[in-house]
Amino acid sequence: MNQHTLYFLYDEQTKRAVTKAVRYSEISEQMKDIRNKDFKLGELVFNIYQNKTISILPSNAIPMEKKFRLNGNEAEKPEEKRVIVFTVREPIWAKPRSVALNYQEIFNSDCELIGVDIVYRQRTKNDERLYPDPMYMEREKALKYPVNKIRDMLITTIPIDDFRIKA
């Protein structure tokens, strides 16, 4: 037999499992516990040869173990934000240090974040990058900075200190 039926207790409101998926004999012991009286019984069928879950009842319940989840049940996986990345050779050195970016590319982009990767290397410090990590900013925030027209191109100047390291 290549399929196992496993059981778990889940919260009816959040649809998240509160116990690990186990055999019925083990879950029946947990169901007797007075602390678990508010939780419902969920069931999943797991194919051990294919190493994947065939079905979950109820279909919107989310098992505790990631290996037992159906692909559509990745509820706790954070939604990745789309990013448009600008590569800048050298920052603007005037105080405050800034970067000049093409305003039209930011404006026309459907991305939620803009990223800036400054590739300038310090010659006096073993050729290390001055800013080794890319920096990020919300697109809407970037659109609020002043815009200048230089050679038929709209340029927005954003101080480097206003960016953050993590997307």
pLDDT at position 103: 95
> Does residue 166 or residue 88 have the better pLDDT?
88
The closest alpha carbon to 39, from 9, 62, 19, belongs to 9
- pTM reported for the whole predicted model: 0.52
What is d(CA 130, CA 77) in angstroms, rounded to the nearest whole number? 33
pLDDT at position 34: 67
Could you tell me the two tokens for 79? 């939604």
> Does residue 74 or residue 154 have the better pLDDT?
154
Strands across the sheet containing 3-10: 3-10, 40-47, 52-57
Q: Model confidence at 149, in pLDDT bands (50, 70, 90)?
A: very high
Alpha helices in the chain (DSSP H): 24-32, 103-108, 139-142
Q: Is 90 exceeded by the pLDDT of residue 141? A: yes
**Domain locations along the chain:** 3-73, 83-162
> Does residue 30 or residue 108 have the better pLDDT?
108
> Could you report the per-residue pLDDT of 53-105, keeping only the tens digit for each?
888 888 888 887 888 787 654 444 456 778 899 999 999 999 999 999 999 99
pLDDT at position 75: 45
Phi, psi at 41, each rounded to 5°: -90, 130
pLDDT at position 98: 95
> Could you report the per-residue pLDDT of 111-133, keeping only the tens digit for each?
899 999 999 988 777 778 888 88
